[in-house]
C-alpha cells in the first residue's frame, strides 16, 4: 500500500468515525455535552471543538505547502484559532455543520496528495511561535493521529454518559484482498 492510499483510507476513517461520534453525541442534551467530565478539555463539546481546532491549525499550515492544493483554498477564509482549547462552536448544531464541511475538505485534501508533496519539507510555526521544518508526509500522519487520539477520548466520555458508539476500529474499513 502506498502512503497516498494510506492517507485516503485515514481520511475515509476520519469521516466515518466523526459521523458515528456526532450521531452518538446528538442523542445527549446540550447540557450533557457541555458538562465538565474531568477530561483534558473538560466536556464532550470542548473536546470535539479541540479536534476541529487542531484540524484547522494543521490544514492552515498545509495550505502553505510549496505545491498548493485546491482543496485548501477554503482555509484562507477560516480564522486561525486563538488557543488549542478554544470553543469555536458552543452550540452542537453549529459544530456539526463545521465538522461536516471540514471532513469533506479532508477527503478532498487526501485525494490531491502526491508522493512529491509528501516528500517535501513544510516550514511552519507552532502555536507558541517556534519555527519548524519537517517532512510533510510525517506531518500529515500526525494530523490523522491527532484526530484519532482525541476521538478516543470523546468515545470514552460518551461511554461514561451511557452512549455506545459501537465499533471504532480502522480494521473495519480496510478492504478485503484475495489471498496470494
Which grid cell is 32?
450533557
Radius of gyration of the chain (CA): 17
- Measure the CA–CA gap between 5 and 162, rounded to whole angstroms: 36
pLDDT, tens digit, for every residue of 30-62?
999 999 999 999 999 999 999 999 999 999 999
What pLDDT is stored for residue 1 in this prediction? 63
pLDDT, tens digit, for every residue of 108-148?
999 999 999 999 999 999 999 999 999 999 999 999 999 99
What pLDDT is stored for residue 67 in this prediction? 92
Report helix, strand or coil for 86.
Answer: coil
> Using an 8 Å Cβ cutoff, are 39 and 48 in contact?
no
pLDDT, tens digit, for every residue of 1-26?
688 999 999 999 999 999 999 999 99
In percent, how much of the chain has pLDDT > 90?
A: 94
What pLDDT is stored for residue 178 in this prediction? 85
pLDDT, tens digit, for every residue of 149-175?
999 999 999 999 999 999 999 999 998
Amino acid at each position: 500500500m502506498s502512503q497516498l492510499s494510506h492517507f485516503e483510507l485515514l481520511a475515509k476513517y476520519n469521516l466515518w468515525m466523526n459521523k458515528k461520534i456526532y450521531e452518538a453525541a446528538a442523542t445527549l442534551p446540550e447540557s450533557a455535552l457541555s458538562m465538565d467530565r474531568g477530561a483534558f478539555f473538560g466536556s464532550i463539546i470542548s473536546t470535539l471543538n479541540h479536534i476541529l481546532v487542531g484540524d484547522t491549525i494543521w490544514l492552515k499550515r498545509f495550505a502553505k505547502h510549496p505545491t498548493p492544493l485546491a482543496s485548501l483554498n477554503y482555509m484562507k477564509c477560516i480564522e486561525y484559532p486563538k488557543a488549542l482549547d478554544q470553543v469555536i462552536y458552543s452550540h452542537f448544531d453549529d459544530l456539526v455543520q463545521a465538522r461536516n464541511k471540514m471532513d469533506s475538505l479532508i477527503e478532498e485534501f487526501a485525494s490531491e496528495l502526491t508522493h512529491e508533496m509528501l516528500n517535501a519539507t513544510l516550514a511552519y510555526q507552532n502555536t507558541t511561535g517556534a519555527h519548524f521544518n519537517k517532512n510533510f508526509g510525517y506531518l500529515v500522519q500526525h494530523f490523522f493521529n491527532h484526530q484519532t487520539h482525541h476521538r478516543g477520548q470523546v468515545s470514552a466520555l460518551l461511554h461514561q454518559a451511557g452512549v455506545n458508539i459501537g465499533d471504532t476500529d480502522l480494521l473495519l474499513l480496510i478492504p478485503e484482498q484475495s489471498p496470494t
